[in-house]
A and B are shown apart, each in its own frame.
Chain A
Amino acid sequence: MMGLTNEHLAKWLEKTNAKIQENKTFLTNLDQAIGDGDHGINMSRGFDEAVKKISSTEYKTSSDLLKDWAMTLLSKVGGASGPLYGTALLKFSMSMKDKEEVDYSSLTAGIEEGLNGLIQRGQAQEGHKTMVDVWSPVVTFLKEQPAFNPEGFKEIAKEAMEKTKDMKAIKGRAAYLKERSIGHLDPGSVSSYYLFSSLAEVIEEEGVGL
């Protein structure tokens, strides 16, 4: 089968949500170390609501599904991750307008649009210890590869997430801590890793041709 269907996108969301719920305390602990301590709670509430919304709605296009995912996060997540994940997914949704299926090039373009949205909304650059530090290498990797490579994709996302540990935060609440932010993983990068590793797993498990 070619391309990601709506069913695959829904599975992607469900898998990401499962990882977030499982690691809710871990995400909160990470955020308590260098942020405002609400990342686990906010993400688990927002993604739970998104699963409820999407599993109970019929979608004609992938763009509509992604849009509802984005809008739910925008309205249900109270912290910074709401507008950030919401904007990224909204840009992804907009890039899928008038497209029949999510093939490799539209997936790459969609995630790249998401990254551009993150940069625009959060005013962060690479090396600032934010989600951008995961999204950016992931986009570069997608663009370099001729087809989807699940193992490599997961590895890139994981490495990028781990690299945030030694960074000093320039953006986000952690930036107030300056040097003290070094030695802790960026919570948004960890949840971004869950998002991308879930995508790779769905593509692998469902045998999606990309």
Chain B
Amino acid sequence: MDNELTALGILFTEFYYWVTVVFMFLIHVGFCMYEVGATRQKNHMHTLMKNTMIIPLVTVTFYFFGWWIYFAFPNGPWIIGDLLAAPFATANSELMGSHLGGPPVQDALTADDTAFWAHINGVFWAAFLLFSWTAASIVSGAVIERIRSSAFWFLAILIGSVFWVIDASWGWHPDGWMVQKLGYHDAYASGVIHAVAGGFALGVLIPLGARIGKFDKDGNPRNIGPRNPWLVTVGLFLIYTGFWGFYAACNVPMIDIQDGEGILFSATNIYLGPTTLSAITLNFLMSLAGGMMAAYLVSKGDAFWTYSGGLAGIIGASAGNDLYHPIQSMFIAAVVVVIIYKLHFWVERRFKIDDAVGAVAVHGYAGFLGVVICGFMLWGYPASPNPDYATINPLGNFIGAVIMFLVLGFIPGFVFASILKAFGMLRVPEAVEIVGLDVSAAIAQEYEDAAMVEAEREVVLASYSSGEK
């Protein structure tokens, strides 16, 4: 921090990301409420704990290796270059601890590293970590009521601390190979978070199979539906709220974007291309509105799908929401929502996929479409301030969407879930699924309740019936 302006910029950035983390925490609260609300009573606690334990498990693994992957993998590695050094992001770096920015002790670091990263590393890591929780939480909702917790947590670590981070390094890092060579543009993570997590969820759902009774003898799906619509409603509103933090965290809040003489401070997107909080606020709200309006019509006023459509609308427009006009965002959101709604039910009937909360549709299909549409809408725009990088184009974004959904999402999800299934570790035993994953706790509680009533009855018999009181 060699002058006051630099110091102010760094400290403001530190505070900015810290606030986004607080907001994004609400996404996880929302996911927990939403999932429990969509679960039958006999599985409530299992569902809650399955999602809750994402927090510690993805946190420690993202600390141990996820953060390093983001900075080490922009070249693939070995797609356009080698593994990159990221000495500030390894779990044994002094910059992954409390640090005041003075000279480094470790040889791999420079004084510039410590001066900058001492203030930014923790909050930037946390912002990315909250994206990681979201990626894992998206998968969590799809697989409720039959997956083993241990299997889910293993898969959650893979999507939350490995595969989404690889795609972020490829397509979200300012120097990622997809940005450089494909002109890939995905400013608010339609593909980077949502398509990859939705694809991963679909990959897991195939070997996992449907819940018992989801399909009748003729293969027609039954609507298991939300059990507690109020919890689902509050959960989805909290996810909307946390999404504000998510959008803000995808920006860099204040840097000098002027090329040449003079200084011009601006917010930028993750690729360091200029945008404003004002622009993304307009687009966020208009895409939310477009998504909800379309979902209300196409679902004939179904509350669950109207709320989910709001999310899918934002996700469908997110790839280009740094540059779209708000009315464009609204229409893109509406079109995406109609397609993903129809696609969800078609896939359910055709392939007997039991996606309990529509996560594959709302995140996976909407994210995929969002990236593809962005390639057409922003055709010819610079993908980066670096003039040597490719410009945004339909083919580049289509290939990018396939990489997100299929290569880094669906295939790893399918492969690892199939391995777990082969070892009999993916799904709970049939009897446990039928009686409910909380049944032992419920029966134990019944015994405790009966014992409590008996104890109270003894007091009544001893004191009241004898006329003492």
A and B held together in a complex: no
Please report B residues at the A interface, Cβ cutoff 8 Å.
none
